[in-house]
Amino acid sequence: MTRLVRYLPVLDWGRSYTGAQMSSDLIAALVVTIMLIPQSLAYALLAGLPPEAGIYASVAPILLYAVFGTSRVLAVGPVAVVSLMTAVAVGQVAEQGTMGYALAALSLAMLSGALLVAMGLLKLGFLANFLSHPVIAGFITASGVLIAASQLKHILGVPAQGHTLLEIAASLAGLIPDTNLLALVIGGGATAFLFWVRRGLKPLLRRIGLPAALSDVAVKAGPVAAVVATTWLVQAYELNARGVAIVGEIPQSLPPLTLPSFSPELLQALFVPALLISVIGFVESISVAQTLAARKRQRIDPDQELIGLGAANLGAAFSGGFPVTGGFARSVVNYDAGAETPAAGAFTAIGLGAAALYLTPLVHFLPKATLAATIITAVLSLVDFSILKRTWVYSKADFTAVAVTIAMTLALGVEAGVSAGVLMSLLLHLYKTSRPHVAEVGRVPGTEHFRNINRHKVETSPGLLSLRIDESLYFVNARFLETLVLDRLARDKDLRNVVLMCSAVNEIDYSALENLEAINLRLKEQGIGLHLSEVKGPVMDRLQKTHFLDDLNGRVYLSQFQAWKDLAAAG
Amino acid sequence: MTRLVRYLPVLDWGRSYTGAQMSSDLIAALVVTIMLIPQSLAYALLAGLPPEAGIYASVAPILLYAVFGTSRVLAVGPVAVVSLMTAVAVGQVAEQGTMGYALAALSLAMLSGALLVAMGLLKLGFLANFLSHPVIAGFITASGVLIAASQLKHILGVPAQGHTLLEIAASLAGLIPDTNLLALVIGGGATAFLFWVRRGLKPLLRRIGLPAALSDVAVKAGPVAAVVATTWLVQAYELNARGVAIVGEIPQSLPPLTLPSFSPELLQALFVPALLISVIGFVESISVAQTLAARKRQRIDPDQELIGLGAANLGAAFSGGFPVTGGFARSVVNYDAGAETPAAGAFTAIGLGAAALYLTPLVHFLPKATLAATIITAVLSLVDFSILKRTWVYSKADFTAVAVTIAMTLALGVEAGVSAGVLMSLLLHLYKTSRPHVAEVGRVPGTEHFRNINRHKVETSPGLLSLRIDESLYFVNARFLETLVLDRLARDKDLRNVVLMCSAVNEIDYSALENLEAINLRLKEQGIGLHLSEVKGPVMDRLQKTHFLDDLNGRVYLSQFQAWKDLAAAG
């Protein structure tokens, strides 16, 4: 039973569900549903799919996540970055607007879902940690810029293309003469309106005396207002006949049962993109889930989250959707609106199902320029180049990783960008550990504490050299220590004892062991003792399996202070 | 001037060269020259090149290394593993026996030389550290097996092919019916003789009363004896007319001036192999150089070594050679024979030049089977599978890296093998640091020393949790600590203060800083203090650039003991 609850969190919260929780969940669901209708249509557009795919991708995934996920308020569905990555990945194997394109999007969701579930069952949630925070921040910022740029074509009403900033700019530049002025007025107007709603409306409403909660609702209704106004405009003046692109006919139906393509060549071509989408989606989702859970002292299980998101993507694959994940904006809205349990998500799914059945004719005349405006305002709020400045101040290595991520994402696209960011941050880490900090230490007077002789006023003893090695010893830096000790030896002729203080040595691998043996041999030849102090339990366990301790020309001391008492006196 | 000496070590030892050093160097050069003649021919055969290429590759490279290298006794020239890698790399772009093949080998040497010089000037010598000792040991062992297998065709006198163990075995199996029995008798006999010389001759000579030094010379003369005997046999009985493959016509000339191909496609195709050859060659060479230098308390400069080896390879490229590096066997012979300075290498080069001019007609009838026998006995002495057992006992991670290296080298060839080994050892290291060891510590009674409560009898204080984090905090494990502290918090309701003992934290990167901020915030909300102790200088410098220390809900203590005094009393 406990085991079943671990894999089906719904059994945990479902059994104690109360009427009070239900009314909170219903209100939250209503707010989220209203917000999601235009957003779902917009992200389908971004992914290069027919608008209804966005709504379908919000129904089954939410329901499945409610059963398998561990976050109580995470709202799963299409999100900006994953939709862009879907457009890039599927665009490589099929032509937009074809049946093959929609089919490939289903296969991508299926692959991504299968990968997530597999990673969850194999407890590989830690893989997400290979994306450092600065790399994520840089990637989100650069993706936001790319997404906004990619939507300009809808605002201008031209068929531009491209997946990198340069491609998009070149394509747009060539098409500017073809700009549809009506689309530009609608799209530009909607964008300006939505920015004003975000920045200026709330303070205004508060000034004229509206309560905070009501002002919030008004702000959230902004996109809906833009949709209603521009749809009416197009319908009333038949602007679609004058070249304004509209959403058009949407089938009135619940999400259909669909079957992704299982073509081996297709699945192979989509494998790497699916992996990247899974990892990026997981990282985005778990960050949101953990932030919101922490506010209510709830816990998120990363491995179970993988299974929850995997189930959601498999759901999307078999119900006409495309890759989904937990979205930041919608989850925060869900939380702020008072959602208590995943049932809020289930109610949202019902709301969206109803919308798919009854409301789709109303958005027939909705201009694509308006959807583009909602995307642009949403993603530009994610753009934050300040990460460059913050990392520059703190650490040049972190700064380099961010800068590379942003530059590569803009110049070569999302997949190259995130891969370069991960690789760069790992290489920089390895480089840093290859040249570890080593401090010569002395005793802080009157204590048993030992610190760097260059930073603190400490006591030293002639003939005794105490080195604190500030890194695990492993193959990348194994030779470094040998070089350092021997160089030091060549300079100090009166040396009688060397103590390696191992308080910061968390591992000694086989390569480092061989180098330690070489150091020991060399010191022994010259009649100099080699001692270790503060060796940790796990490291000591290893050393005891070898001959190293038997051959050591000295002792292993529990603490540096004991080594000092013993050796400084002898010296 | 100092700067010039750094790049031209010859200026250092050359100015104080004495007559006594010169006579030592001359004797060593004679011994090495005699050893190198058959060896150079054999390694040219292994690389798939005409035999004279082996001699040419030993002349200019030795001279150039004598000028630019920092080791006093390293002997540079063709070596087994690099020759095999040359055969694999060049075999991918040209047919053996064609002009294009020899030309590509020159280009490979040029590329490799240019890469080494560039790495030296950019001070990238540390890159060699990315090859762990067990990976190198596994690679050398597997390469030895591959090389020995590849030479069986000469022993059997059949035209077998292949670069992996399976390919070679399959190719040989199909050709066994074509075995030339005379070649088998000569090759098999020579192999047995050479093994006996290595294992049985020296003890025998010592037993009959020969001095140790003379016994050594006799053993080293073994290959020469095999060469002389089998050459005479073939010539006297005209065995070459009965199908025994011989070395044949070798031009009598000093190394010619040659020009490598600069074809961009060729250089591009050879780039990755050249890089691998450079790194492997450098690692092999520097290991030998450091081992021998240490015996005489001399120092090796890795970055200058790169330049020395690079110059040697450039020399090979323009004088009819192929990629070279510092060889283990020949360097040890050079050292044991009493070489004092790189002038010994220069004398060896003169000796080999003379051999190329006057002695090549003598080896016309030398059977290839004898050369194969010298290669097989040489490389099988490098094969040592005990590294598998030794790493298994010490560390499963190191064992895995070795096992993968050996398996991949045998199954997919040298390039795949060494790449897989490097990748596997890096990934295992990252995996280990992603789940760091964290110990709850208490005070060792009567001292100011703090150790793991599970391993030592220590004092703890209620309400105070002291955690020693045994790893640098960086993005791969940043979330780990947050999860751990919060889980711990959920279990212990009486907690008032948490101390993170940072003696083993050598870095806190930007991601980890954000997680520390999150931990601090969470503890603050619950009225629990968060303190740090024993934070190192470089880490503290970083933290002081941020708001973290201002926001910290607690203090930073110089030592864990001070934290204990302060907080255990308060608790």
Q: Give chain A positions within 8 Å (CB) of B430.
A: 130, 426
Q: Which of A7-11, A271-275, B57-61 has the lowest mean pLDDT?
A: A7-11
Mean pLDDT value across residues A190-217: 85
Query: What is the distance in angstroms between the Cα of A569 and the nearest Cα belonging to chain B?
Result: 19
Contact between A120 and A307 (Cβ < 8 Å): yes
Mean pLDDT value across residues A189-204: 88
Q: Which of the residues A423, A475, A549 would you substitute to probe the B interface, choosing the one with the greatest number of B C-beta atoms within 10 Å?
A: A475
Query: What is the distance in angstroms between the Cα of A301 and the nearest Cα belonging to chain B?
Result: 10
Nearest residue on chain B to A526, judged by CA atoms?
B297
Task: Enter the tokens of residue B64.
Answer: 């150039």
pLDDT at B77: 93
HEC profile of B166-205: HHHHHHHHHHHHHCCHHHHHHHHHHHHHHHHHHHHHHHHH
Mean pLDDT value across residues B420-426: 91
Task: Mark yes or no for CB contact B511/A133 under 8 Å.
Answer: yes
Of A390, A432, A503, the CB nearest to B504: A503
Alpha carbon distance A100, A541 (integer Å): 59
Query: What is the distance in angstroms between the Cα of B390 and the nearest Cα belonging to chain A?
Result: 9
Residue A356's alpha-carbon distances to A66, A103, B79, B106, B345, in angstroms, are 20, 20, 73, 69, 84
Q: Could you tell me which of A99, A103, A53 has the C-alpha nearest to residue A256?
A: A53
Task: Mark yes or no for CB contact A514/B133 under 8 Å.
Answer: yes
Tell whether the model's pLDDT for residue A228 goes beyond 60.
Answer: yes
Alpha carbon distance A235, A120 (integer Å): 48
**How is residue B297 annotated by DSSP?**
T
Percent of chain B whose pLDDT exceeds 90: 48
Alpha carbon distance B340, B21 (integer Å): 6
Nearest residue on chain B to A435, judged by CA atoms?
B126
Amino acid at A58: S
Alpha carbon distance A335, A356 (integer Å): 24
Give this complex's ipTM.
0.80
pLDDT at B569: 67
Alpha carbon distance B3, A551 (integer Å): 41
Mean pLDDT value across residues B51-74: 91
Q: Give chain A positions within 8 Å (CB) of B480.
A: 126, 129
- Crossing angle of helices B222-237 and B19-46, in 10° steps, is 50
DSSP states of A181-223? HHHHHHHHHHHHHHHHIIIIIHHHHHHTT--HHHHHHHHHTHH
Mean pLDDT value across residues A234-262: 88
Contact between A487 and A499 (Cβ < 8 Å): no
Task: Enter the tokens of residue B231.
Answer: 């050459």
Query: What is the distance in angstroms between the Cα of A464 and the nearest Cα belonging to chain B?
Result: 21
Task: Mark yes or no for CB contact A397/B509 under 8 Å.
Answer: yes
Query: What is the distance in angstroms between the Cα of A97 and the nearest Cα belonging to chain B?
Result: 40
pLDDT at B385: 93
Of B452, B538, B561, the CB nearest to A437: B538
Cβ-in-10-Å burial (0-12, 13-18, 19+) of B174 comes to exposed
User: Predicted confidence band at A393 (pLDDT cuts at 50, 70, 90)?
Assistant: very high
Phi, psi of A491 (to 5 degrees): -85, -35
Q: Give chain A positions within 8 Å (CB) of B514.
A: 133
Of B429, B435, B538, the CB nearest to A474: B429
Pick the residue with more confidence: B571 or A4? A4
Beta bridge partners of A452: A441
Q: Could you tell me which of B309, B264, B247 has the C-alpha nearest to residue B283?
A: B309
Mean pLDDT value across residues A487-507: 88
Nearest residue on chain A to B548, judged by CA atoms?
A394
Alpha carbon distance B467, B385 (integer Å): 42
pLDDT at A336: 82
User: Predicted confidence band at B313 (pLDDT cuts at 50, 70, 90)?
Assistant: very high
Mean pLDDT value across residues B211-237: 85
pLDDT at B544: 93
Q: Give chain B positions within 8 Å (CB) of A440.
A: none
Task: Mark yes or no for CB contact B509/A542 under 8 Å.
Answer: no
The sheet carrying B529-533 orders its strands as B450-452, B437-443, B464-470, B497-501, B529-533, B556-557
Tell whether the model's pLDDT for residue A571 goes beyond 60.
Answer: no
Task: Mark yes or no for CB contact A536/B439 under 8 Å.
Answer: yes
Q: Which of the residues B509, B517, B534, B549 would you substitute to probe the A interface, choosing the one with the greatest number of A C-beta atoms within 10 Å?
A: B509
A323: CB partners within 8 A, 6+ apart? A78, A82, A83, A85, A86, A105, A108, A109, A112, A274, A277, A281, A313, A316
Query: What is the distance in angstroms between the Cα of B220 and the nearest Cα belonging to chain A?
Result: 28
Mean pLDDT value across residues A240-248: 87
Tell whether the model's pLDDT for residue A85 goes beyond 90.
Answer: yes
Mean pLDDT value across residues B92-115: 93
Task: Enter the tokens of residue A219.
Answer: 């702000």
Phi, psi of B326 (to 5 degrees): -75, 125
Q: Please report how many Cα atoms fall inside a 13 Å half-sphere around the Cα of residue A467, on the Cβ side.
A: 21
Task: Mark yes or no for CB contact A394/B513 under 8 Å.
Answer: yes
Q: Which of the residues A303, A480, A511, A533 would you substitute to probe the B interface, choosing the one with the greatest number of B C-beta atoms within 10 Å?
A: A511
The sheet carrying A497-501 orders its strands as A450-452, A437-443, A464-470, A497-501, A529-533, A556-557
Task: Mark yes or no for CB contact B536/A425 under 8 Å.
Answer: no
Task: Mark yes or no for CB contact A472/B471 under 8 Å.
Answer: yes
Task: Mark yes or no for CB contact A448/B447 under 8 Å.
Answer: yes
DSSP states of B403-419? HHHHHHHHHH-HHHHHH
Task: Mark yes or no for CB contact B536/A504 under 8 Å.
Answer: yes
Q: Give chain A positions within 8 Å (CB) of B433.
A: 472
Average pLDDT, chain A: 89
Q: Could you tell me which of B21, B25, B71 has the C-alpha nearest to residue B305?
A: B71
Alpha carbon distance A397, A420 (integer Å): 14
C-alpha angle with apex B278: B272 to B283, nearest 5 degrees?
Answer: 130
pLDDT at B338: 83
pTM to 2 decimals?
Answer: 0.80
Q: Could you tell me which of B271, B229, B228, B299 has the C-alpha nearest to residue B72?
A: B299
Alpha carbon distance B529, B557 (integer Å): 13
Amino acid at A101: Y
pLDDT tens digits, residue range A278-323?
A: 999 998 898 888 778 767 767 788 889 999 999 999 999 999 999 9
Of A131, A395, A452, the CB nearest to B510: A395
Tell whether the model's pLDDT for residue A95 goes beyond 80.
Answer: yes
CA dihedral B156, B157, B162, B166 (to 10 degrees): -20
Q: Which of the residues B298, B433, B506 would you substitute to probe the A interface, choosing the one with the greatest number of A C-beta atoms within 10 Å?
A: B506
pLDDT at A362: 86
User: Predicted confidence band at B570 (pLDDT cuts at 50, 70, 90)?
Assistant: low
Best-predicted range by mean pLDDT among A314-318, A359-363, A436-440, A482-486? A314-318
Q: Which of A254-268, B155-169, B328-342 has the lowest mean pLDDT?
A: B328-342
B349: CB partners within 8 A, 6+ apart? B58, B59, B60, B62, B63, B66
Q: Which of A431-435, A500-504, B214-218, B229-233 has the lowest mean pLDDT?
A: B214-218
Integer Rg of chain B from CA: 30
Query: What is the distance in angstroms between the Cα of B25 and the nearest Cα belonging to chain A?
Result: 27
pLDDT at A3: 66
Of A130, A294, A509, the CB nearest to B476: A130
Of A429, A449, A504, the CB nearest to B474: A429
Q: Give chain B positions within 8 Å (CB) of A451.
A: 558
Tell whether the model's pLDDT for residue B399 goes beyond 60.
Answer: yes
User: Predicted confidence band at B3 (pLDDT cuts at 50, 70, 90)?
Assistant: low
Alpha carbon distance A388, A401 (integer Å): 10
CB contacts < 8 A, A to B, total 177
Give the Cβ contact number of residue A127 at 10 Å.
19
Query: What is the distance in angstroms between the Cα of B502 and the nearest Cα belonging to chain A?
Result: 9
User: Predicted confidence band at A570 (pLDDT cuts at 50, 70, 90)?
Assistant: low
User: Predicted confidence band at A114 (pLDDT cuts at 50, 70, 90)?
Assistant: very high
Q: Which of the residues A432, A482, A485, A506 would you substitute to probe the B interface, choosing the one with the greatest number of B C-beta atoms within 10 Å?
A: A506
HEC profile of A246-302: ECCCCCCCCCCCCCCCCCHHHHHHHHHHHHHHHHHHHHHHHHHHHHHHHHCCCCCCH
Task: Mark yes or no for CB contact B126/A434 under 8 Å.
Answer: yes
**How is residue B256 annotated by DSSP?**
P
Place of tokens 């920092």: B70
- Alpha-carbon dihedral sign for residues A69, A73, A79, A81: negative
Task: Mark yes or no for CB contact A398/B436 under 8 Å.
Answer: no
Query: What is the distance in angstroms between the Cα of B218 and the nearest Cα belonging to chain A?
Result: 32
Of A132, A134, A558, the CB nearest to B449: A558
Amino acid at B178: D
Percent of chain A whose pLDDT exceeds 90: 47
C-alpha angle with apex A96: A92 to A98, nearest 5 degrees?
Answer: 110
Strands (DSSP E) found in A444-563 = 450-452, 464-470, 497-501, 529-533, 556-557
Place of tokens 């190329």: B356
Nearest residue on chain A to B452, judged by CA atoms?
A537
Q: Give chain A positions within 8 Å (CB) of B510.
A: 132-134, 390-391, 394-395, 398
Mean pLDDT value across residues B12-23: 82
pLDDT at B297: 67
Q: Could you tell me which of B192, B212, B194 has the C-alpha nearest to residue B202?
A: B212
Of B470, B490, B511, the CB nearest to A134: B511
Alpha carbon distance A151, A49 (integer Å): 14
Mean pLDDT value across residues A403-424: 91
Nearest residue on chain A to B502, judged by CA atoms?
A504
User: Predicted confidence band at B37 (pLDDT cuts at 50, 70, 90)?
Assistant: confident
Query: What is the distance in angstroms between the Cα of A205 and the nearest Cα belonging to chain B?
Result: 32
pLDDT at A486: 82
Beta bridge partners of B438: B469
Task: Mark yes or no for CB contact A129/B474 under 8 Å.
Answer: no
